[in-house]
Each structure stands twice: as C-alpha cells, then as structure tokens.
Amino acid sequence: MRLTEAQAVALAAAGRRLASSKSWWGDPDVENEERTVIRVRPTGVGEWELRVADAVGAVAVADLQLLIGPKIPDDHLLYLFACSGQFPRLDPQHTTVGKGSSLWELVATWFVNAAEKVLRKDLIRDYRLHVATLPLVRGRIQALNTSRALLKGQVAITCEFDDFDEDNPLNRLLLAAALAVGSSQILPADLRQRSRRISLRLDGVGRLRPQDLRAVVDRRTDYYRDAVTLAKSILASAGRSLEEGPEAAWSFLIRTPEMVEAGLRQILAEGLGQHWPVTKGHLQLPGSTKTLNPDLVFRDGLAIGDVKYKLTGQDWNTGDLYQAVSFAAGYRTQRALLISFSPYGEVLPELTVGDIRVMHIPWRASVHIPPEEAASILVAEVSDWLEMITRTGDWP
C-alpha cells in the first residue's frame, strides 16, 4: 500500500498497543517476540506491506480507512461468532440487510437497532446508594462527618440515601457503546446521528466503570440482552492510540481465532450430544509450566481435536501436524482430528505418526452453502469419524 511515514508509524503503534494486552492473544502460553496486531514493513519509497493478524474490522488513520474482512464468507463467520456465545444470535434477515457493509458498520448498526428497541421499552431503573453533604436531612445521617463539619462551624449534614434512577451497569454499557459509535468518523452520518440520540436519551447515566463489563442480564432485564452483548463487543474491540506519532489511529478489531474455536466447539457439543461430550482441553505437563490446550477433547480424552482458523492448503501444515500429534501424545490417545476451512471441501490425506493417526475434516466455507448446512455436514462427518474409531476398536 502507499502510506505516508506518519500513517505507517500510527498504524504500527496501534498494533503494538492492542498486542500489549494479554487478553488480545487469548492463549496465555503464546510466545511471540514481536507482539503486534498490525505489522507494517517498508517495501519501497512510500510503499508499505501491511498485515493485520487474526482480526476483522476496521482501522482509520486521519483520511486513511482500512476495512479488514474475514478469510471465510461473512455469514459463516457471524454464525460461528453467534454460536460462541460471545455474540448475539441474529436472524437471517439482519444478515441479508447488512450484506456489502463492513463488519464495523454491521455491528454498529445492529447495536443501534437493539439499543433503540431498549429505549422504546424504557430504561431499567435501580436503587443506588448516594453519600452527599446537604443543608437538610435526607435518608440516614453520617454522625461522625456531620459532627466534624459542625465543629468547624459548617452547617452541613452528611447523609446516606438511596436514589431510584437509571445510572446502573447495563445503561452505562449502552451509553459507552453509543458514544463510541457516535464518534466514529468511519461510519455513515445517519448512523452516528442515531447513536448520538441514544446517548442524549441516556443523559442521566454516568461514565462506564471497569466492573460494568461483567454485568449480565436477568429475567427482569432480558430485553437488554442483544444490546448489551453488542455493546460489550464494541467496547472490547474499539480502541484509540494517541501516544506515538503525529497521526492518531482508531480501530475496531475483533480477534477471530478464539471465537471461531468456541463456536465450532459449541456446534459439535450440541450436535454430538451426551454420547460424545466435547470440552476444551487443558493439561499441565509434569514438572513444567507448559500446558497442552487442544480445542476439542472428546469423551474425556479418548480422542482430541484442534481447530485452525485458516484455509486448507494443498498439504499438511507442519506446525499444525506437530501440534495435533503433541496433543494426542499428551492425552495418551492414538486419534487426533484437525478442523480447518475450505470453500471446496478439500480433505487432506490421513497421516500416521508412530501410533497416532491424524484425520482432517474441513468446514465447508462456501458462499453457496449456508452456514447452518456447513455445521450439519461437519457434525455428521465428525460423528462418522468417532463411530468408525469405536467400531475398529482403536481406543487406547
């Protein structure tokens, strides 16, 4: 790409800032000498090679706007996001309406629509404890503070009282996300205007607090569910880097691998049922701080699987193969599975490494196959693989 040096510096700084957060990488054991989400490298005069690692979304630097799309069809990615439990399940109509939009515009539009629905039903109110110095008594008097004030000649009463208002964690989440959408220059003007109207309606709500991000809906606030989930996604993925360089970089980047893995694991867990329970693996190696963390553990380790959010190549990736074999060895099983993504359903040949047999099954990531159908095909093929192992008696 053609970039100015200032733009390149700002993009690189934004990438390092994002990567400085352990939560961005998902896996605490990941080792990376140069942690960065946005890698920028000069290739000529005014020309730069730009790579955004494991993320989709948008990045903006001054008048430069970059849209980062997924390596699989949008509807497949959003379907897996929804199955992960970290993104709301949205009906097919929403997805169809959003075709042709960037992911950031799509998420922002969904959030604004969901927040407007909440406002139409009215905001939730809760009791909140206040402590204030007042000229008249309200609620309970704090005797010590009031006495100190009187001894200083100040006629003021320190009171504790409850207010029944809209300043609560769920509404603070909505306000913070609405402000993020309303201030984004990369979004259409009408969408930003709608978001600003939402923030004005929340004028009695305070600033976001760190603990608010852990807030969850209950039966009374269930109508907040989609709006709150999208608000958390916006707040976790949007960032601004102002520390380095003359240009400020803004980003909305969703890290994809963990959500894709969680979505696939949930699809298999629901599809295979109780006969083949599927869990996330975590095995501590004796005498070491290292752990083995396969994405899929079938029936307490009788077989293991790993998900790679990448397109299937013409041959096995050596690193992926070694990792699958290591997982199988650690769990003392002879059967390992690798799931990757293929628009045409290419299947890599089964390999045998010592006593360990490694199988490959692809997710059909095709624009011609609905994601629900791709999920059904995957579940059926994994089920057939597990049943075949049972019939041939290959369990360790």
Q: What is the pLDDT of residue 269?
A: 96
Q: Name the strands in the sheet holding 140-141, side by side, starting at the edge strand that comes first in the sequence.
A: 126-134, 157-165, 140-141
243 pLDDT tier (thresholds 50, 70, 90): very low
Residue 387 has pLDDT above 60, yes or no: yes
CA angle 379, 356, 326 (to 5 degrees): 90
3-state SS class at 130: strand
Q: How far is CA 13 from the centre of its chain?
A: 21
The mean pLDDT value for 129-155 works out to 82
Q: What residue spans define the domains of the chain?
A: 5-123+168-255, 126-165, 257-392
pLDDT at position 111 is 92
Low-confidence winner among 126-130, 228-232, 321-325, 331-335 (lowest mean pLDDT) = 126-130
**Residue 196 binned pLDDT confidence (cut-offs 50, 70, 90):** very high
**Six-digit token string for 331:** 């769990």
> Range with the lowest mean pLDDT among 11-15, 188-192, 316-320?
11-15
Q: Is the pLDDT of residue 129 over 80?
A: no
Question: Is residue 14 very low, low, confident or very high in pLDDT (cuts 50, 70, 90)?
Answer: confident
Where is mean pLDDT largest: 68-72, 134-138, 147-151, 321-325?
321-325
**CATH architecture observed for domain 257-392:** 3-Layer(aba) Sandwich (3.40)
* pLDDT mean across residues, the chain: 86
Residue 309 has pLDDT above 80, yes or no: yes
pLDDT surpasses 70 at 20: no
Q: Which residues of 302-334 are buried (b: 16+ CB within 10 A; e: fewer)?
A: bbbbbbbbeebeeebeeebbebbbbbbbbbebb
Quote the pLDDT of residue 160. 86
Q: What is the mean pLDDT of residues 306-312?
A: 95
**pLDDT number for residue 249:** 66
pLDDT tens by residue, 151-191: 888 878 888 887 778 889 999 999 999 999 998 888 899 99
Q: Is the pLDDT of residue 91 over 90?
A: no
* Residue 23: predicted pLDDT: 52
In this structure, of 6-10, 33-37, 223-227, the range with the lowest mean pLDDT score is 33-37
**Residue 153, by phi and psi: left (phi above 0), alpha (psi -120 to 50) or beta?**
left
Query: What percent of the chain is modeled with pLDDT above 90?
Result: 51
Whether 12 has a pLDDT exceeding 90, the answer reads: no
Summarize the confidence of residues 45-57 as an average pLDDT: 89
DSSP string for residues in 197-258: HHHHHTTT-----GGGGG----STTGGGHHHHHHHHHHHHHEEEE-SSSSS-EEEEEEE-HH
pLDDT, residue 106, reads 84
Question: Which residue is it, tokens 């295979």?
Answer: 272
Cβ neighbours, 10 Å, residue 26: 15
pLDDT given for residue 157 in this prediction: 85
pLDDT of residue 245: 47
* pLDDT higher than threshold 80 for residue 321: yes
Q: What is the mean pLDDT of residues 63-87?
A: 87
Query: Helices H, strands E: what count in the chain?
Result: 12, 17
Mean predicted confidence (pLDDT) in 312-340: 96
Residue 241 pLDDT greater than 90, yes or no = no
Please state whether the predicted TM-score (pTM) of the whole model is above 0.85.
Answer: no
